Structure 1
Amino acid sequence: MKKLKAIIVFPLLILATFVQAQMPVLKVQQAENEAQKQAVNLKKLNIDVQITGNIATTVMTMTFYNNSNRVLEGELTFPMPDGVTVSRYALDINGKMREAVPVEKAKATEVFESIERRRVDPGLLEKVEGNNFRTRIYPLPAKGSRTIIVGYEEELNFNHTNALQYHLPLDYNQPIEEFALKTTVFESVIKPELAEQPDGTFNFSAKGNTYVGEIKKTNYEPKHGLTISLPKRSDLPEVQMQKASTGYYFMVNVFPKVQNRPRQWANQIGLIWDCSLSGLQRDVKKEMELLDLIIKQKQNLTIQLGLLNNNFKSGGNFVITNGNWALLKKKLESVVYDGGTNFSAINSKNLQAEEYLFFSDGLSTFGKNTVNLNKPVHTINTALKADYSTLKYISLKTGGQFINLNAINTETAFKQLSQENLQFLGIKNGVDVKQVYPSLHVNVDGQLSLAGILNGLNTQFMLQFGYGNTVVLEVPIRLNATEHTLTSIDVRRVWAQKKIAEMDIQYEANKEDISALSKQFGIVTRNTSLIVLENLDDYLRYDITPPAELRSEYDVVMKQRRADILERKTDLMNAAVAMTKDLKTWWNTDFRALKTNKEKDKYPTVAGDPVADVVAAEPASQKMEVQEMRVPAPVAIPPNQANRRETESNALHEVVVTASSQVVQRKSMASASVALQGSVAGLQVADKKIITRVGEMIQGPTIIIPEFKSDKDYMKNLNGKPDSAYLAYLKMRPGYITTPMFYFDVANWFYQQKDSVRALTILSNIADLDLENADLYKTLAYKLKQTGNYTEEIFVTGKVLQWRPMEAQSYRDYALALADAGQYQKALDHLYKVLTQSYNSQIADRDQGIEEIIISEINNLINNHKDKLNVRGIDKRMIFPLPVDIRVVLNWNKNDTDIDLWLTDPTGEKGYYSNPRTQIGGRISNDFTSGYGPEQFMVKKAVKGKYKIEVNYFGDSQINISGPTTITAEIYTRYSTGKQERKVIVLPMEANNKNGNLIGEFSFN
């Protein structure tokens, strides 16, 4: 039995300015009892805060203790405020803290998962969708602890009293055994003020121009957070400098005094309201307050409401007179939040206005994050998990403003939206400075911070401010290395973060530069993570430069034996060419002739032979011929699968004995070999066109599948008409809001009721449940394929490819989605990439045999669409038409999962991993005992009769939010002939069903 890992989720470590939040809350996903839910707690917490100027550096050291008797895997997900990113991560290795190093995100994920399977100690911190971060730690030992360090820099903003403000949430609902908090404010001429403190005992003491506050407690539960106000003298710029290899990094903080100018609101405003499932996480009350201020100022206007989830539809046209917007308010208060989010569905044809207000978290989970609008769009966010870059880009591109209501109050937001804001326009006489950020026009609300690189020792230049392109104010800046290099902050990292933040607004165009910069400065971004490995060999094996403590030893060893240690990477081309030859041999074999020749063979008998005597004594109608025992080709079985294979082989191995047309098998196989006769109770005929009248069928394949009906308790409440069933679903949803199979099952019910619109909305909720969860997205993709939603299938499989480019299945799933949508050339190119990508040895071993499936699919595209394809890039040795009468292909959504495809033909013979070549010419592809599959059955010339498809799901080694393993089976008849038919089946699996899960049946006549 494979070792079980539970996933611990600490949902919210929210480090956002001006937001009431929580410290880590630990939860065991799918816990069986309350004790398991409380298995892990935060035992020690040490927080160190250092503030210089408008930059705060926060370092949190957290020790988690596992009270259970099970080894667990930890996952800590936390949002960060706009402009903040993690720049330090460390994990305890053998009792000593080891600093993480930056690595490309996909490689870091690949390495982490590879090492994790060896039961050693990797740690990974990555940025997921939006400005959200996730750290994965394995193992959390039974009755043991792990310690992590997370550090980040934050640029502080002004509050309504014109003071910089720092906020640290400490709202933790359980006592912490050991708690320590230290805060140091450097170079402050005015004493910091405490707007909020944990318990009344925290205070600052002065040491010259440095102020220090510190508390240490045991069994401590803070009552409040820590909020520090830092009054600033606004008459002089603040300058910080740091020596570099050439020149200096510098940061300047200025406080321009020019007033903003009033702006007139348009008479017709488009209101785009994100009503997807994630909208439940927004602060709607705050958003309504902002709307109220806008409407009361304008008084008379027309607001057109657009409701956005997986679709975009009109919510009505509201004519507002004398500031009375009661009808619109009532409409917004009654909005149902349901479905994924698809920004690309927004269209000006459906919502025409002079300017737009767009309330959303910026996370487009079910479609591209582009908005097709050409008038100013003001984006407003109140969600803690948000994609700030997307919201900024939308507003910047259209000439609107981005408002983060987590960082400012509604009055300040209204003021910004109702004014033509003073903007930073650029630098004058700055010949000695370069790479200054921000480089774009940005709004200035009393304060501006910028950073750059100085070529020499000192210089002077002007910062220009104004409206549009008109300069109305210039602020002189003087940089002098002898005066400004005494600093307690890492100015170069602040500069790098500012540059990355600006480039991230157009991520696709800048992702390579972002990756290079983030690796150089150790900053976590969309495509760069921080990783900790256990020992030197792992850093050498995966070609990752280690932290300083291992660097010298690493350099020595790498010079001596780099080629011997480095993890091998290989593509699948040689195996694909060899597999093509094997497929050609199989396809050209006439299995009917082989069978006929065997039947003709006669051998002399010996008098007294007991078998011959029995046969001679039987009536002619009952004579039996002992068939030759088949010895299947050897199948490589991983060591950890040996016991399972031996047990299952005893139950499945068959001796076939024929008596006339009757098939006699071992009793254990009887139920699997019985061919169904006539109509099948509870089964659905896939293609009713072939039925002429009851009991009579024309020649042709018929696919019959079981109608999937979930037996979960919540399904009992879905009855009657779809309208009432939808209300029942909404009523039940709070109890299952994070359960993927709840949405899958309910959506399936609505599909069966022919209400595909509601079904797709409910199904798309799966995309909003978790950030960058490939398992969930794969499940979603399978159902989208089955229901013919191919545009959405392309998006979803494309996201999985973006997250997991190290796996062959990511390219294959995306390619097949493209083929579903008729994009055959792109589909062919991505299928071929499966064979030309390089894979590490573990993944290559896991996926051995996938070439057989890819070759079949490449040749299917070429055979069916050759006039539309350019095949010059395809190795000609792999192009060979492979039309077959029957093809069944199976894959699943989870790694570390063992699933087997079984197919019983009309003779009663079962093809499976121990019998991969059947008498009628059936061919089962390589057995995948981990990974995602796929597994495939093909037969070139099918015999007439019924074929039965089953799946044996032995189990997986994961318990997490993505729920049970889900499989998809594609059944083809007349495959690659130009007349092929396909049926797609998607089913959640029941583990340890040794009799097999019935997937479907089809008749071939």
Structure 2
Amino acid sequence: MRPSKTFLLLQLLCLFFYAQAQMPVLKVQQAQTNEQKQAVKLQKLSIDVQITGNIATTVMTMTFHNSSNRILEGELTFPMPEGVSISRYALDINGKMREAVPVEKAKATEVFESIERRRVDPGLLEKVEGNNFRTRIYPLPANGERTIIVGYEEELGFYNGNILKYHLPLDYNQPIEKFSLKTTVYESIIKPELAEQPDGAFNLKAHGNTYIGEVNKTNYQPKNGLTINLPKRSDLPEVQMQKASNGYYFLVNVFPESQSRARQWSNQIGLIWDCSLSGLQRDRKKEIELLDLLVKQKQNLSIQLGLLNNGFKTGGTFNIVNGNWSALKDKLEKIVYDGGTNFSAINSQSFRADEYIFFSDGLSTFGKNTVSLDKPVHCINSALKADYSTLKYISLKTGGQFVNLNASSISDAFKQLNQENLQFIGIKNGSDIRQTYPSMHVNVNGHLSVAGILNGLNTEFILQFGYGSTVVSEQTIRLNATEHALSSIDISRVWAQKKIAEMDIQYEANKEDISGLSKQFGIVTRNTSLIVLENLADYLRYDIIPPVELRQDYEAALKQRRIDLQEKKTDLLNAAVEMTKQLKTWWNTDFSYKAPMKKKEDYPVPLVNNPVSGNPASAPSRSVALPPPPVRTKANQIDNLDMISGEALNDVVVVGYGAQTKRMETASATTLVLREVSRASEPLQGRAAGLSINQSNVKRVVAPAQPTIVIPEFKSDQDYMKILVGKPDSAYLAYLKMRPDYISTTMYYFDVANWFYQQKDSVRALTILSNIADLDLENADLYKTLAYKLKQTGNYASEIFVTEKILQWRPMDAQSYRDYALALADDGQYQKSLDQLYKVLTQSYNTQIADRDQGIEEIIISEINNLISRHGAKLNTRNIDKRLIQPLPVDIRVVLNWNKNDTDIDLWLTDPAGEKGYYGNAKTQIGGRISNDFTAGYGPEQFMVKKAIKGKYKIEVNYYGDRQINISGPTTVTAEIYTNYAIGKQQRKVIVLPLTSADKGGNLVGEFNF
């Protein structure tokens, strides 16, 4: 049976860019019928292309029609070519197109989700991992339409000498009801050439030095894409200028004669091959062909193979003689692609070579994106979804080359790798210009584009070219605002994109500057998004400057209503202080529990008869004075105990700890001191509080028994699990064979990984589990599921990476800080963990999120005090509000989290007395305490009991419901079960359980005896 897909993947568009053949994917809610599967279609498409010099601006207007009777949310994800970023986004609001405005990415996500819950019309376009972009559209109305506009500027690359090339794929899989394409080439001295056109009706017609082509069709499916060749004169620099508030922005294109010298390859090469799941998306045929050219060029060499996925291992050493590398080629062609990607697993200690060739998409989804190699690394990408910045940075840092096989032919890529190319070195005599980019050495392959700012009206400077620091040629450039016609394109935005692309190579060091620049020029980056809101009130509410058409009304309203309408921010510290008082009051309360007494049976009362001599049964009743019972203190009751535990005595607590015996005194004056002769399990001799202690009144004194926590073994009932039988080797082959049918199904990897964990094959299990990280870009729901399972299986370093990523994507959520803090604690980083937990209470939240998470401070207080109680000697608590520090040890603690927002899941705990603690019974007779009921968000919910009664405790969860708009797989819950919490003998069990909305009622999580 085919798998139940989380998302219906509708390949609706193939509007892509130079060498971008992949179609973007529109994700909507799950379709149940064939009719619903065809519900959303691209109904109208209008494309406008304008080319000036080497800059092409492409604007696409897309109208989607939803023919179903359900309101849907759309999520359109698409890759962009190297160095290209989206700079325009618009969405129809009440029948009119409204332009988006730039906002910090985290804030844009927060605002979008807040408004989305009100079921109105926000639109969001954001950059996700790599150079990939995603727009979220809600609602796609039932039997209705939505229109979006996406625009971008592209710097064209050279192809086959001095020819610029623009390419627009038009490979649709279905006709489009209304299709139009218009292309304009401005100020071209040489007539552009159509290398490929949609059909014979499209042609470029001259209007002076401007060339225009246009086509309008109905029910049209293009046969070909659009490819335009733009020949350039190598002896004539092209200069474009744009007036600014202070000076001019300029863009200069020069075409220096290409010069190069042969590269001297080493005899010892390390070949790093990315064999993660995303490797299936690379053009491995092109990669093999490029490697073939390199090997045959060198002929005799030694190649050491390294295989990278969620870990790194060597694949053998191959000694190549006379260019015969068939053994290595056969190995590469049979590689299994499986697992996430962890660049940080690569290091020169375990993989030494004189230089390296690295085939990867640059997306490190399961570890940091840095490699510890100190020799040149040549990075080669053939994937459409790629992180160009990471690959460029690795190459630049190590002195290697970066090659994008999407933007060059195999022969051109071979030339680039096999030779040292002429480089742009810098600018001489440039005192009247500033902020020029590129500002570092870059390769020159027949063309160089430089953008900058001119301070005055005119100037002259020199571009220098060479190798390393040696200049071999120069070219003089003249800028004159009175001579050069002002450009029809936005040069300032081209300049900003060049600067951002260079700063992005070292993103962490430049992220603040990138954010400011991208907001000023409206460019989408990894920390800035474009957002559209429905009405003026929303722009005021969230303090977002609206587009031009609303600006005047916004500024007028802002003067009068700013304080009232700007969304309030609050932290949780004051609430946490009050909660600490409540918790301490609860903890100090005596919840002495007595089991219900068995009802006493009534016996018949005998009548009083006259005494009969000699018959004792008939003797009259009378009082008989009995000697008083011996006085028994709580201390001398120990002769009835088989062990002494922390709960054995109320006034005196005696606990055995191996070679020592610890004593804790309470408010009572009674004191008991025990000396251990050899170990706690041997008989005790001595005196205590006037009581002789020997073998006659104490049988044995031992360490307290640990409660046994039993959790049910999770077993999936999916059909694919029936195939996983036998030994792990054969089961793994079965998993790979089935995987194409479930390639994007999250729970497939979760279930199969769980099976391998149960078979004690943790290496394969982790590889399979880590595939979840490769399924989608920046999907916090998926990463939370992954983090839960990593916690459960003890993979704490990976848990830290995953939770830190979630915090980076969702800093607006308290749970993001908490999950990261607990991962740090798992790894023994207690100070960092404490700091992050405290940040949950001091971080600012908007009103809606603060209301959603009301009560989370109860959980955080418990966890802060647990850290301090257990690791206080190692912690600096000076920055922690002292009012929060209150020891709160408890016998039992259970805490529940889940990975989905807008979801209501309930924690149930039934104690040995049969009483169920849940949101409707938050305080049980034995002293159990349930935290606040989280009806939205991610939880957590918590149960604690200070003094547990003996018996069995049962933990259940109830999936009450959700209000989600899109669904990315089943909701996953994780329960952490603690006994003896916040004291030395604490133990923990973790269970991870997938749930669906059909899982109503109690779902057993685990049970234990205390």
**TM-score normalised to structure 1 length:** 0.89
> Contact conserved, 1:14 with 1:384, CA < 8 A, in 2?
no
> Contact conserved, 2:27 with 2:76, CA < 8 A, in 1?
no
The offset of 1:829, in angstroms, is: 0.4
1:949 partnered with 2:955: yes
Q: 1:983 to 1:386 in 2, by over 3 A?
A: same
Q: Does the residue aligned with 1:412 lie in a helix, a strand or coil?
A: helix
**Aligned counterparts, 1:586-605, within 5 A:** 586-592=586-592, 595=593
AA at the equivalent of 2:80: M
Residue aligning to 1:424: 424
**Aligned counterparts, 1:585-984, within 5 A:** 585-592=585-592, 595=593, 699-958=705-964, 960=966, 962-984=968-990
Q: Deviations over 1:325-384 (max 9, x none)?
A: 000000000000000000000011222111100000000000000000000000000000
* Partner Cα separation in structure 2 for residue 700 and residue 22 of structure 1: 58
> Contact conserved, 1:341 with 1:364, CA < 8 A, in 2?
yes
AA at the equivalent of 2:549: E
> Contact conserved, 2:26 with 2:74, CA < 8 A, in 1?
no
Q: 1:139 to 1:957 in 2, by over 3 A?
A: same
AA at the equivalent of 1:98: R
Residue aligning to 1:210: 210
* Partner Cα separation in structure 1 for residue 12 and residue 321 of structure 2: 42
* Partner Cα separation in structure 2 for residue 205 and residue 416 of structure 1: 37
Residue aligning to 2:442: 442
Q: Deviations over 1:560-614 (max 9, x none)?
A: 110111111110011101100000000000100xx56x989xxxxxxxxxxxxxx
The offset of 1:26, in angstroms, is: 4.4
- Which ranges in structure 2 are unaligned for 5 or more consecutive residues? 605-702
The offset of 1:959, in angstroms, is: 6.8
> Contact conserved, 1:184 with 1:210, CA < 8 A, in 2?
yes
> Contact conserved, 1:11 with 1:78, CA < 8 A, in 2?
no
Task: Say what the alpha-carbon RMSD is for the aligned residues.
Answer: 1.8
AA at the equivalent of 1:954: Y
Q: 1:180 to 1:513 in 2, by over 3 A?
A: same
Q: Deviations over 1:431-472 (max 9, x none)?
A: 000000000100000000010000010000000000010000
The offset of 1:482, in angstroms, is: 1.0
> Contact conserved, 2:23 with 2:78, CA < 8 A, in 1?
no
Bigger radius of gyration, 1 or 2? 2
**Aligned counterparts, 1:364-513, within 5 A:** 364-513=364-513
The offset of 1:275, in angstroms, is: 0.1
> Contact conserved, 2:72 with 2:965, CA < 8 A, in 1?
no
**Aligned counterparts, 1:144-293, within 5 A:** 144-293=144-293
> Contact conserved, 2:258 with 2:444, CA < 8 A, in 1?
no
Residue aligning to 1:577: 577
Tell me which moved more, 94-103 or 561-570: 561-570
The offset of 1:9, in angstroms, is: 5.3
The offset of 1:38, in angstroms, is: 1.3
Q: Deviations over 1:216-267 (max 9, x none)?
A: 0000011111011000111011000101000000000000114111111111
> Contact conserved, 2:978 with 2:989, CA < 8 A, in 1?
yes
> Contact conserved, 2:305 with 2:317, CA < 8 A, in 1?
yes
Q: Deviations over 1:493-515 (max 9, x none)?
A: 00000000000000000000000
* Partner Cα separation in structure 2 for residue 520 and residue 762 of structure 1: 43
> Contact conserved, 1:64 with 1:147, CA < 8 A, in 2?
yes
> Contact conserved, 2:103 with 2:531, CA < 8 A, in 1?
yes
Q: 1:619 to 1:164 in 2, by over 3 A?
A: farther
* Partner Cα separation in structure 2 for residue 226 and residue 484 of structure 1: 30
* Partner Cα separation in structure 1 for residue 22 and residue 834 of structure 2: 49
Q: Deviations over 1:19-67 (max 9, x none)?
A: 3625555454532222222110000000000000000000000000000
> Contact conserved, 2:63 with 2:145, CA < 8 A, in 1?
yes
Q: Does the residue aligned with 2:711 lie in a helix, a strand or coil?
A: strand
> Contact conserved, 1:913 with 1:926, CA < 8 A, in 2?
yes
Q: Does the residue aligned with 1:514 lie in a helix, a strand or coil?
A: helix
Q: 1:711 to 1:981 in 2, by over 3 A?
A: same
Q: Deviations over 1:709-730 (max 9, x none)?
A: 1000000000111000000000
Q: Does the residue aligned with 1:978 lie in a helix, a strand or coil?
A: coil
1:353 partnered with 2:359: no
AA at the equivalent of 1:127: K
| Matched positions, count | 909
Q: Deviations over 1:65-113 (max 9, x none)?
A: 0000000001000000000000000000000000000000000000000
AA at the equivalent of 1:737: I
Residue aligning to 2:50: 50
The offset of 1:400, in angstroms, is: 0.2
Q: 1:207 to 1:979 in 2, by over 3 A?
A: same
Equivalent pairs: percent with the same residue? 80
Q: Does the residue aligned with 2:831 lie in a helix, a strand or coil?
A: helix
* Partner Cα separation in structure 2 for residue 29 and residue 476 of structure 1: 58
> Contact conserved, 1:13 with 1:22, CA < 8 A, in 2?
no
> Contact conserved, 2:6 with 2:745, CA < 8 A, in 1?
no
* Partner Cα separation in structure 1 for residue 11 and residue 827 of structure 2: 37
Q: Does the residue aligned with 1:462 lie in a helix, a strand or coil?
A: strand
Q: Does the residue aligned with 2:366 lie in a helix, a strand or coil?
A: coil
Q: 1:538 to 1:960 in 2, by over 3 A?
A: closer
Residue aligning to 1:34: 34
Residue aligning to 2:695: none
Residue aligning to 1:550: 550
- Which ranges in structure 1 are unaligned for 5 or more consecutive residues? 601-614, 621-696
AA at the equivalent of 1:999: V
> Contact conserved, 1:258 with 1:473, CA < 8 A, in 2?
no
Residue aligning to 1:94: 94
* Partner Cα separation in structure 1 for residue 27 and residue 516 of structure 2: 36
* Partner Cα separation in structure 2 for residue 167 and residue 617 of structure 1: 95
Residue aligning to 1:627: none
Q: Does the residue aligned with 2:508 lie in a helix, a strand or coil?
A: helix
> Contact conserved, 1:13 with 1:77, CA < 8 A, in 2?
no
* Partner Cα separation in structure 2 for residue 218 and residue 474 of structure 1: 53
AA at the equivalent of 2:239: V
> Contact conserved, 1:6 with 1:73, CA < 8 A, in 2?
no
> Contact conserved, 1:274 with 1:307, CA < 8 A, in 2?
yes
1:111 partnered with 2:111: yes
AA at the equivalent of 1:41: K
* Partner Cα separation in structure 2 for residue 700 and residue 175 of structure 1: 69
The offset of 1:699, in angstroms, is: 3.2
AA at the equivalent of 1:970: E
The offset of 1:995, in angstroms, is: 3.1
* Partner Cα separation in structure 1 for residue 601 and residue 510 of structure 2: 85
Q: Does the residue aligned with 1:166 lie in a helix, a strand or coil?
A: strand
Of residues 967, 989, 997, the one that matches 1:991 is 997
Q: Deviations over 1:501-555 (max 9, x none)?
A: 0000000000000000000000000000000000000000000000000000000
Q: 1:25 to 1:993 in 2, by over 3 A?
A: closer
AA at the equivalent of 1:586: W
Q: Does the residue aligned with 2:934 lie in a helix, a strand or coil?
A: coil
Q: Deviations over 1:298-333 (max 9, x none)?
A: 000000000000000001100001110000000000
* Partner Cα separation in structure 2 for residue 200 and residue 857 of structure 1: 70
* Partner Cα separation in structure 2 for residue 474 and residue 93 of structure 1: 53
**TM-score normalised to structure 2 length:** 0.88
